[in-house]
Amino acid sequence: MSTDIEHIEIRGARENNLREVNLRIPKRKITLFTGVSGSGKSSIVFDTIAAEAQRQLFENFSLFVRNFLPKVPQPAADAIANLNMAVIVDQKRLGGGSHSTVGTATDINPLLRLLFSRVGQPHVGYSNQFSFNDPQGMCPECNGIGQKLGVKADGFLDMSKSLAEGAVQVPVFAKWENAMYAASGFFDVNKKLSEFTKEELDLLLYASPRKFKAKFNGNDMNATYMGIIEKFTRAYIKRDLKTLSPRTQKTVAPYLTMGPCPLCKGARLSQAALGCKIQGKNIAELTAMEVDELLPWVKSLEGAAAAPLAKTLAERLGHVVDIGLGYLSLDRPTDTLSGGESQRIKMVKHLGSSLVEVLYIFDEPSVGLHPRDVYRLGTLLRELRDKGNTVLVVEHDPDVIKIADHIVDVGPHAGRKGGTVVFEGSYEKLLQSKTLTGQYLERQLPLKETPRRPKGKLPIRNARVNNLKDVSVDIPSGVLTVVTGVAGSGKSSLIHEVFVPTTPGAVVIDQSAVGTSSRSTPATYTGVMDDLRKELADANDVDASLFSFNSKGACETCNGLGVLYTDLAFLEGVKTPCETCHGKRFKDEVLEYKLEGSSISDYLALSVTEALAALGSNKGAKKRVPLLRKLEAMRDVGLDYLTLGQPLNTLSGGECQRIKLATELHKKGSVYVLDEPTTGLHMSDISLLMKIIDRLVDEGNTAVVIEHNLDVIRSADWVLDLGPDGGSKGGEVVFEGPPTELLKVKNSLTGAALRGEF
């Protein structure tokens, strides 16, 4: 092994499908990994490089600490050397609940607070007085959440009845309440509620607690009276909802509403903090502005006291704008951001960090980005590199591939037909190479000249969710509509929040994880497992349940998982192979049962292609048509390389979306909504995806696809372009019509992208 510390060295990497991969990755450069989906990019970048960086981090702990950590196996490789500390910037959603916002996640809020503590008028105190995460700064009424639970009292009372007739309908305590309210002596129990005066109704609903003597069965009892809403609030709202039984929570939930906090009106801060202003604006007003507007305001700040801080702040806000997120406000909760937005927010944070010599790893950073914004992504990646960091990027977008210093093309195909490095070098050299990536880089799908004719239309009327400006538009049915526009223009708001809920039969095929159990696999998800179990059971005359991961046939050490998971409180959890079954997941006696010579574990180790060959080419094939159909559907969506037993939680978002597509492929008469289906797809796979979508449409379905990929836009029958820009500058329909017309539209950023103007 060389001692050249200017390169990360990898020798003989064998994770998953990798075939003895050797690599020298230059440090302080941008190295881009590309190749067809399933070729082994993640196996190199995540399962080998990032995994080893984490393991080495563990090695740095003292022996004492390490005793509490699981033994993380070394990735399968002969050597991995010269690694730096790794930071993965992926599309996992930013959690953090209501206290995490764009401003906290980017570390911009602390700068803003510092600014207020220095130059705000009147002077309030230290910067923590401006933090809604600090007891000193938070609004005391809502504890800095900005929202308060309230009661939605509709349905609490039946106005046509009297108390004696049971007018109180509050769930959970209606029976006792009717008796109590009647016994209080405060009301005429036979008077219908509709005849109550306002005072009587207020007493019934809102009265604060007061003692009274109640008569029950002739005895006087000391009791406490309070209004229904007061009582409900005390019982269910001023308590932690989680302490209530699930059944009670379910009964109570429909009567709870979230509304802005009455004291801070949603601003989350104490009254003192809100009273402190700079040029007439308090900190909450600033965090509510879109970053596009906040940036010029900060730049305009003059005065010696504020200038240096304002400069740092402006620089950081500039990163938010540069990465195409200027339409967000700092007070936006991070749990409402999409995967692509979350990833870019993490990027802003790292751009502001002063760490150097870090290994940054990006997973498809172009997701959710319009072609207009992709070049700005390149600028930021270079900035990160120029601070002295090593940047690794897994990506398919030709415009991102272009900006790399060094490209590693993995292939030649997927699964067992991949796993080798087929090209290493510069973009210019890649263009001349014969690899799939090289061939496709300058190819494009043709603009559709003769679009399909719509069968009808699906109306959207007066949509005003988020930034939508009273949008009324028709989506043609029976054709492929592609919805376009820059990030933040309103595509998701229009399609996911308005179109889908109001369109009968609309099926969303998104990238969210499939399967909730860690035992789920492509085989269980598609139903192939059920078919296999049944065949194995018939062939051996035993019970089919024996072949289930959660039966007594499963390995008892790992409960059928094949691996053991260890949760680490302060680091990412780790998994280690099960030493009892060696990943086979079943007990030895179960593995004795064979179907055509193979055990259940043998089948689960096959890829879709291999399973089709093994099960489809012998005399048993005739009777297992349904099973073969399911396998063919997976092959048709480009998942031929997937292993049947691969845990679903190791699938990427794009793979999850395609496996959902596979299970929908043979249904008819629906409206399918797909959100960026090209995620994770190599250019050479996109024509395959378009064939599948075309088939869905030709079978009588309607397809609505949110997409930035120009090949997909060119293949549309109809394009709905939103914009003109993001956030408050978006939310309108800029264009609707066939792609040949969009090409001519001057004020459409998507039209400009089609013309190759970016």
Q: Which residues contact ligand ADP by CB under 6 A? A: 16-17, 35, 37-43, 327-328, 332, 336, 410, 414-415, 466-467, 485, 487-493, 641-643, 646, 650, 727
Least CB distance to Zn ion at residue 561 (A) = 7
C-beta closer to ligand ADP: residue 82 or 652: 652
C-beta closer to Zn ion: residue 289 or 591: 591
Is 273 among the residues that bind Zn ion (CB under 5 A)?
no
Task: Write the CA distances from 373 to 38, 170, 369, 680, 727, integer angstroms.
Answer: 27, 53, 6, 19, 15
714's contact among ligand ADP, Zn ion, none, with CB below 5 to 8 A by partner kind, is none
40's contact among Zn ion, ligand ADP, none, with CB below 5 to 8 A by partner kind, is ligand ADP
Is 264 among the residues that bind Zn ion (CB under 5 A)?
yes
16's contact among ligand ADP, Zn ion, none, with CB below 5 to 8 A by partner kind, is ligand ADP
Least CB distance to ligand ADP at residue 135 (A) = 27
SS3 (DSSP) at 740: helix
Are 269 and 132 within 8 A, CB to CB?
A: yes
Site string for Zn ion, 63-92 (x = CB under 5 A): ------------------------------
Is 284 among the residues that bind Zn ion (CB under 5 A)?
no
Q: Judged by CB under 5 A, which of 22, 169, 580, 598 binds Zn ion?
A: 580
C-beta closer to ligand ADP: residue 204 or 681: 681
Least CB distance to ligand ADP at residue 93 (A) = 12
447's contact among ligand ADP, Zn ion, none, with CB below 5 to 8 A by partner kind, is none
336's contact among ligand ADP, Zn ion, none, with CB below 5 to 8 A by partner kind, is ligand ADP
Which string of b and e fits 141-156 if b means at least 16 CB within 10 Å?
ebebbbebebbeeeeb
Q: Which stretch binds Zn ion (CB under 5 A): 160-168, 327-335, 487-495, 575-583?
A: 575-583
356 token code pair: 């150097």
Using CB under 5 A, count the residues that bind Zn ion: 12
Instruction: Please state, as a whole number, how many other Cβ atoms lie within 10 Å of the Cβ of residue 490.
Output: 28
Q: Cα–Cα–Cα angle for 491, 495, 498, nearest 5°? A: 120
Q: How far apart are CA 17 and CA 610, in angstroms?
A: 14
Q: Judged by CB under 5 A, which of 555, 651, 674, 686 binds Zn ion?
A: 555
Residues 6+ apart with CB under 8 A from 3: none
Q: How far apart are CA 185 and CA 201, in angstroms?
A: 14
Is 274 among the residues that bind Zn ion (CB under 5 A)?
no
Q: Judged by CB under 5 A, which of 557, 618, 687, 747 binds Zn ion?
A: 557
Q: Which stretch binds Zn ion (CB under 5 A): 215-223, 352-360, 551-559, 621-629?
A: 551-559
37's contact among ligand ADP, Zn ion, none, with CB below 5 to 8 A by partner kind, is ligand ADP
C-beta closer to Zn ion: residue 146 or 680: 146
Task: Write the CA distances from 646 to 37, 54, 376, 549, integer angstroms.
Answer: 15, 23, 37, 13
129's contact among Zn ion, ligand ADP, none, with CB below 5 to 8 A by partner kind, is none
78 token code pair: 């002969």
Is 581 among the residues that bind Zn ion (CB under 5 A)?
yes
SS3 (DSSP) at 112: helix
Helices (H), 157-264: 174-183, 198-206, 228-232, 246-252
Strand segments (E) across 332-429: 359-363, 390-394, 406-411, 420-425
Helices (H), 220-338: 228-232, 246-252, 271-275, 283-288, 291-299, 307-322
SS3 (DSSP) at 339: helix
Is 576 among the residues that bind Zn ion (CB under 5 A)?
no
Can the peptide bond before residue 504 be classed as cis, meaning omega within 30 degrees of 0? no
Could you identify the residue written with the tokens 């150097």?
A: 356
Is 141 among the residues that bind Zn ion (CB under 5 A)?
yes
Is 142 among the residues that bind Zn ion (CB under 5 A)?
yes
117's contact among ligand ADP, Zn ion, none, with CB below 5 to 8 A by partner kind, is none
Q: How far apart are CA 218 and CA 216, in angstroms?
A: 5
Radius of gyration of the chain, Cα coordinates, nearest whole angstrom: 30
C-beta closer to Zn ion: residue 275 or 700: 275
Applying CB under 5 A, which residues contact Zn ion?
139, 141-142, 261, 263-264, 555, 557-558, 578, 580-581
